[in-house]
Amino acid sequence: MTGARAAALNNTSVAISDLWSGLSNQAGLTGVQSFSAGVSFQNRYAVKDLSDKALVIASPLGIGKIGLSLHSFGNSNYSDSRLGLAYAMSLNEKFSVGVQLNYHQLRITEGYGSRQGVSVEIGAIYRMNEHLLLAAHIANPTRSALADYRDERRPSVLRMGATYVFSQKVSLLSELIAQSEQRVSIKGALEYQAVENFFIRAGAGSMPSSTAFGIGYQFSGWRLDAASSWHNTLGFSPQLSLSYIGNAKK
């Protein structure tokens, strides 16, 4: 989960700089200008037991920005949770970096118990000019252990992408995702500011085939985002986020 703004863009989010970057590319936390917080809920395929919940908090600290994120998926019988602590900073006017330490807990009640572990994430964003932003992010490069049985491990995920700002109203996003033991996926998305403070978003991707759409409204330091992705067989996965963003950049 990366918040409903990113969900509406089919999670084409590696080259986005906002509060929710703590769940996608921590370098993007440099876009947070004051204390910010957000909550998000997704109901995957409209199934109650397949719920995704997230909380994010970010604030300036020293010469950089600190972020805290909590993500939980599942129900009382099966749950996969992650607590992350991130720090991001701008090295100069164009280049930003971020790092995050995660604590994972996987819990299955029927004879499995729980399993804990840690992982790291590292991200970078380069603002080439006023129109083009390039980004890269790697999650869990060491492939931290998930279970002793058959040496199960959490996957490593490498993401690279770009955001091209055509104008104040239109942004085009793209992303390439390489995950261990899976085929490379390509995504693209469009964000359009229809009127002041109101946004329309859509995205699509391959491997697996996916589409998403949504809207967002910004008001008095708050942002409300709604989104849904679509699976040809399983149907819709609606998501809603509410964020207090203060003076954060778009």
Q: What is the mean pLDDT of each run of 10 residues along the chain (250 residues)?
A: 90 94 96 95 83 95 96 84 96 96 86 82 96 96 69 85 95 94 91 96 90 95 94 85 74
pLDDT of residue 163: 97
Q: Which two tokens stand for residue 12?
A: 């084409």
Q: Which amino acid is it at 146?
A: L
pLDDT of residue 232: 75
Q: Which residues pair with 120 in a beta bridge?
A: 101
Picking from 40, 41, 34, the residue whose alpha carbon sits closest to that of residue 20 is: 40
The whole-angstrom separation of Cα 181 and Cα 164 is: 30
Residue 62 Cα distances to 65, 208, 246, angstroms:
7, 41, 19
The whole-angstrom separation of Cα 159 and Cα 139 is: 9
pLDDT of residue 147: 57
pLDDT of residue 149: 55
Q: Is 127 left (phi over 0), alpha (psi -120 to 50) or beta?
A: beta
pLDDT of residue 111: 64
Q: Which two tokens stand for residue 175?
A: 């992303």
The whole-angstrom separation of Cα 202 and Cα 2 is: 15
pLDDT of residue 159: 97
Q: What is the DSSP letter of 150?
A: G
pLDDT of residue 249: 44
Residue 216 Cα distances to 5, 46, 100, 194, 226, angstroms:
7, 21, 27, 10, 6
Residue 71 Cα distances to 45, 49, 143, angstroms:
18, 15, 19
List the domains of the chain with CATH numbers.
Answer: 4-244 (2.40.160.40)
pTM attached to this predicted model: 0.89
Q: What is the pLDDT of residues 199-250, one digit of tens each?
A: 999 999 987 788 999 999 999 899 999 999 987 777 789 999 999 987 644 4
